Amino acid sequence: MSDVSRHPLHRLVEYYRDPAYFRDLFRVGIPIAFQQLIFALLNMVGYVMIGQKGDTAIAAVGLAGQVYFLLNLVLFGIVSGAAMVTAQLWGKQDVRGIRKALALTLWLSVGVSLIFLALAETIPATLIGIYTSDAQVIAIGGEYLRIFAGSFVFFSITFAYGLILRSIGNVKLPMAISVASLGLNILLSYALIFGQLGLPELGVLGAAWAMFISRVVECSVLLSLVYASRSPAAASMRELLTLDRRFFLRMMKPILPVTVNELLWALGITTYNAVYGHIGTDALAAVNIAVSVDGLALVVFIGIANATSVLVGNKIGAGEEEDAYRFAGRSLGLGIGLAVLVGLGVLLLREPVIALYRVSPQAALAASRLLTIIGLMLWVRMTNMIIIIGILRGGGDARFSMFLDGFVIWILGVPMALLGAFVLHLPIHWVYLMVMAEEIAKWVLGLRRYYSRRWIHDLTALGAEADAQG
Determine the 3-state secondary structure of 455 from DSSP: coil
Q: Are 456 and 316 in contact (CB under 8 A)?
A: yes
| 374 found inside a domain | yes
Q: Are 330 and 15 in contact (CB under 8 A)?
A: yes
pTM of the complete model: 0.68
Mean pLDDT computed over every residue of the chain: 83
| 279 found inside a domain | yes
> For the chain, how far is it from start to end, CA to CA, in angstroms?
57
- CA pair distance 399, 264, nearest whole angstrom: 13
| 327 vs 464 pLDDT, higher one | 327
217-221 long-range CB contacts below 8 Å, 24 or more apart? 217/181, 217/184, 218/154, 218/158, 218/177, 218/178, 218/180, 218/181, 219/154, 219/155, 219/157, 219/158, 221/177, 221/180, 221/181
How would DSSP label each residue in 311-358?
HHHHHHHTT-HHHHHHHHHHHHHHHHHHHHHHHHHHHHHHHHHHTTS-
Q: ∠ at Cα 239 (233, 240), nearest 5°?
A: 75
Mean pLDDT computed over 271-300 = 84
| 241 found inside a domain | yes
| 159 found inside a domain | yes
Cβ atoms within 10 Å of 333's Cβ, excluding its own: 14
* pLDDT tens by residue, 34-79: 767 766 666 667 667 776 766 677 778 877 877 887 888 788 778 7
* pLDDT tens by residue, 438-455: 999 999 999 999 999 888
Percentage of the chain surpassing pLDDT 90?
26
Percentage of the chain surpassing pLDDT 70?
89
pLDDT-derived band at 146 (thresholds 50, 70, 90) equals: very high
pLDDT-derived band at 213 (thresholds 50, 70, 90) equals: very high
* pLDDT tens by residue, 375-403: 999 999 999 999 998 898 888 887 888 88
Q: How far is CA 17 from CA 21, 197, 401, in A?
A: 9, 53, 30
Cβ atoms within 10 Å of 48's Cβ, excluding its own: 16
Q: Are 405 and 445 in contact (CB under 8 A)?
A: no
- CA pair distance 120, 70, nearest whole angstrom: 12
| 470 found inside a domain | no
**Structural domains in the chain (count):** 1
Task: Give the domain extent around 220.
Answer: 3-465
* pLDDT tens by residue, 5-37: 556 666 666 667 777 778 878 877 777 777 677
Q: What is the pLDDT of residue 243?
A: 72
Q: What is the pLDDT of residue 379?
A: 94
191-194 long-range CB contacts below 8 Å, 24 or more apart? 193/49, 193/50, 193/53, 194/49
